Amino acid sequence: MSSSPIHLTVLGSGTSMGVPTVGCHCAVCQSTDPHDKRLRPSILLSRNGQNVVIDTTPDFRAQALTARLDRLAAVLLTHGHADHIQGFDDIRPFNIRQRAAMPVYGSEETFRAIRRAFSYVFDNKPSLSTVPSVILHEVKGPFELLGTPIIPVPLLHGEMDVLGFRFGRAAYLTDFSRLPETSVPLLEDLDDLIIDALRDIPHPMHQTVEQALALVDKLKPRRAWFTHIAHELPHAATNERLRKAGYPHVQLAYDGLHFDVQTDSPAVERAAKALAVHAHIPSGRLTVFYSAADWAARFAGTKRGSIIAIGNYDGIHLGHQRVLAFAMTRAKDSGAVSTALTFEPPPLKVLRPETAPLRISTNQQRLEWFGALGIEAAVVLPFTPELASLSPEDFVDEILVRQLQVRAIVVGDNFRFGHRQAGDVKFLRDLGMRYGFEVVVHTPVALDGEIVSSTLIRKLIAEGDVTHAARLLGRPFVLTGELVRGTGTGRKFLFPTLNLKPDQELLPARGVYITRTVLEGETSSHRSVTNIGMRPTFNASGLTIETHLLDYSGNFAPSHIEIRFWKHLREEKKFASPDDLRLQIARDISTANKFFARLRRLRSLRSFHAPL
């Protein structure tokens, strides 16, 4: 499949009310040119008999009939506005014909809109009629459909986070007003770019023709097509105007436009790597920026200012959580934007890599925990030599004051900043007096007389004391990552395992642990036993992380999992025979089941004795 192109068809190129617009008698709405008849914006991607639709508009049924769409492999959603989702119910004929649930890809914010608008699909109540059957896949990074990677492209639709999508040498960016700088590397080396260009008159949530042309100049696709077109732009006349303005490679898209998209582009792999490092898929809970300028573009116009909590936040332990909670409370009281400011990679990885400690958490985990705590925005500054060379005063003036509009800064008492870490808390307070912001210094958090720190937590995890580490973190230590093929040894001995390739640098000590495991696409966790080690009984040579689920017998094969470490069970050891190992694994499973049974009883007792 890799050599065949994707066939792209524009199903709709119009604005939210379509063209002609109801009740309008303008020249475009009354035009006899079929290119001026515009349904709501959507495209169809087809390859080797498989079809994918981007957005189920209110016109989806008519669009599918016109395209003679008999089968549908998946639906991609850019955002949750009505003109992009109101045809969602028309997924039903494909469910019936294909006898399968429809995979739907989008952001969590879009899924919340879907659940509100189509609550009957998700309430699990008996129905006398058919309802759409769907599997929702939250987009957190690149994924594969039609045998090719799909790269999500974060965009801004006014102040709303939306998604565009890149596939091979083409990209589809509908309904947006601004492309974040961190999304620019995702759009290199394009043959075709389909982008929002509503009209000539400015609109707060859409690009004008002039703005779209400026973006074409910046991204330099070989061809560009304007979509989400209002009735102010007649097809033939606008194309002629673009040609005379020196843009013969730019035209208005139209319903029924189709062309082939080549998929063999090295830029796709580069885009996937850039997305992983510098861009963020909106979750609806947290807005993430990889430059202070992007934060300013989103929030400066609101005049809210920011309450900033600065730190490395490795692990986001109880001490970090107190700093972040204080920033959120102060922001709520003042109306400012609660903002976590951190760096990627951590400064020591750049300045003194030989002394940099192994990280407890990945950047993605930090972002998820910021969102779970309720932080409104996170600014993850790429820690470059240029940033490291800024003096303390320049860092405060250029980044915190001018761009992040800081009202108050919350830091720990050992905070250092600026070139050669020349700035300390006292100097920060002096700058606060000069620039008019408050500095709040939090003392370390102690638990049972022990100072909570990332350094201590790293030591505990490395020693295998995951229970103690969890108390300081405020939650279990977590490993996430991709599943890899094992040797089949576990299944041979009737204890099948999932084999993890971890994202994290820091691993617990070798041994067997009581854990809970979350499978990709699920929200609840499964009881499990996890072994970290070299499998000495089988004279293996490489470190493995193998998890056996205690309460799961399905055939689902996820590509990613999350393992939460609760308790160290025993050291790794070499057994005299595979049979001895099998007996020990059975004892480990029995011990783990008793552990979880005790937890259930304790929780029941707490619930029973809770005050009414």
Nearest 5 degrees, angle CA 445-CA 447-CA 450?
Answer: 90
Sequence-distant (6+) residues with CB within 8 A of 55 are: 40, 41, 42, 43, 75, 76, 77, 78, 84, 85, 174
Question: Which CA distances in Å does 566 have to 320, 477, 545?
Answer: 21, 8, 15
- Global pTM reads 0.68
Residue with tokens 């470490």: 565
Right CATH for 6-272 from 3.40.50.800, 3.30.930.10, 3.40.190.10, 3.60.15.10: 3.60.15.10
Task: Note the pLDDT of residue 609.
Answer: 47
Is 75 within 8 Å of 163 (Cβ atoms)? no
Q: How far apart are CA 395 and CA 400, in angstroms?
A: 7
Half-sphere exposure in the Cβ direction for 497 (13 Å, CA)? 22
Q: pLDDT tens digit string along 441-463?
A: 988 899 988 999 999 999 999 99
Kindly give the parts of the chain with pLDDT less than 70.
1-2, 277-284, 486-495, 535-541, 553-557, 603-612
Give the residue range(s) of CATH 3.60.15.10 domains in the chain: 6-272
Contacts 24+ apart (CB under 8 A), 526-531: 526/550, 526/551, 526/552, 527/551, 527/592, 527/593, 527/596, 528/563, 528/592, 529/569, 529/585, 529/588, 529/589, 529/592, 530/563, 530/565, 531/497, 531/572
Q: What's the distance, Cα to Cα, between the start and end of the chain in Å?
A: 63
Helix 318-334 / helix 363-373 crossing angle, nearest 10 deg: 50
Q: Which of these, 335, 324, 282, lies nearest to 159 by C-alpha position?
A: 282
Q: Which of these, 238, 235, 228, lies nearest to 15 by C-alpha position?
A: 228
The tokens describing 29, both together, are: 């709405």
- Number of Cβ within a 10 Å radius of residue 606: 9
Residue with tokens 């992040």: 404
Is 385 within 8 Å of 350 (Cβ atoms)? yes
Count, residues in the chain: 612
Q: How far apart are CA 254 and CA 227, in angstroms?
A: 8
Q: How far apart are CA 55 and CA 87, in angstroms?
A: 8
Give the residue range(s) of CATH 2.40.30.30 domains in the chain: 454-594
Could you please state the CATH topology (level 3) that the domain comprising 287-443 is classified under: Rossmann fold (3.40.50)
Task: Note the pLDDT of residue 264.
Answer: 87
Question: Which CA distances in Å does 36 have to 231, 238, 252, 334, 432?
Answer: 8, 11, 10, 49, 58
Amino acid identity at 117: A
Is 112 within 8 Å of 79 (Cβ atoms)? no
**Distance, C-alpha 169 to centroid of its chain:** 22
Question: Which CA distances in Å does 327 have to 212, 336, 373, 380, 475?
Answer: 38, 10, 11, 17, 21
Q: How far apart are CA 327 and CA 150, in angstroms?
A: 37
**Sign (positive/negative) of CA torsion 591, 596, 597, 601?**
positive
Give the residue range(s) of CATH 3.40.50.620 domains in the chain: 287-443
- Number of Cβ within a 10 Å radius of residue 134: 19
Task: Note the pLDDT of residue 612.
Answer: 44
Right CATH for 454-594 from 3.30.70.100, 3.40.50.10680, 2.40.30.30, 3.40.640.10: 2.40.30.30
Q: How far apart are CA 219 and CA 391, in angstroms?
A: 34
Q: How far apart are CA 328 and CA 403, in angstroms?
A: 20
Task: Note the pLDDT of residue 35.
Answer: 97
Give the H/E segment covering residue 570.
strand 560-570
Task: Note the pLDDT of residue 484.
Answer: 85
Task: Note the pLDDT of residue 281.
Answer: 67
Question: Hey, which residues does 512 pair with through a beta bridge?
Answer: 531, 570
Is 196 within 8 Å of 228 (Cβ atoms)? yes
The tokens describing 497, both together, are: 């395992």
Q: How far apart are CA 34 and CA 13, in angstroms?
A: 12
